[in-house]
Amino acid sequence: MRLRLATGLPLHRGPDSYWGDLSTPPHRDLSGSFVQTAAHARIPSGDVHLRRAILLFALVLGLTALAAAVSPTPQDTEPPEAPTPAAPATPVATRVVDFDVSESDEEPQVRRARAGGHLVLTVTSIRGGLVTIPRLGRTASVSAAAPARFDVLAPDAGRYDVLLQESGGADEPRRIGTLVTHP
């Protein structure tokens, strides 16, 4: 079956047209069929496919945003649980341990403490310097106006040297005392 216009005129030239081979006068653009076959159809290029994919993505994203805006948010009907108070810890007594450095080179002081207890070590000196407890990895400065202060949890049982390097003094720090902890 051949396609025909609404007027009944054929869209092609040929023997089965209304007037036969003479139905369509030969013109330069009208010499062939007006209907394109699948072989002559253009296949869309990659750019067209990319535009279609982006359009589809934008459409889906827009619909998702619309659905999220319209949908109701869940409401919590139960009040949040209050945290349970922790069992009151037994207060640990704070022990203050003082090391006093005087001008004279006296024997290093020894102070004792129980391992695991709260311990505040203070070092007072009439000259400024740097106080270090190497095994604890702690360092603090000391001066005549402000003692060095270490607020620590007493370490495991053992001996811990307390060293002082005075400002402008010897290159090597000197041991001013030892903290001995026991279980």
- pLDDT mean for each 10 residues of the chain (183 residues): 57 55 51 51 72 95 94 75 69 81 75 88 88 92 90 89 83 87 87
CA distance 85 to 87: 6
Q: Which pLDDT score, from 0 to 100, does residue 139 have?
A: 92
Q: Which pLDDT score, from 0 to 100, does residue 1 have?
A: 56
Q: Which pLDDT score, from 0 to 100, does residue 58 have?
A: 97
Which one-letter amino acid corresponds to residue 39? Answer: A
Selection from 106, 123, 105 nearest residue 160 by Cα: 123
Q: Which pLDDT score, from 0 to 100, does residue 23 have?
A: 47
Phi (first) and psi of residue 49, to 5 degrees:
-65, -40
Q: Which pLDDT score, from 0 to 100, does residue 133 have?
A: 92
What token pair was written down for 83?
């945290």
How does DSSP assign 48-97, residue by residue?
HHHHHHHHHHHHHHHHHHHHHHHSPPP---SPPPPPPPPPPPPPPPEEEE
pTM of the full structure: 0.49
Domains with residue ranges and CATH for the chain = 94-182 (2.60.40.420)
Q: Which pLDDT score, from 0 to 100, does residue 138 have?
A: 92
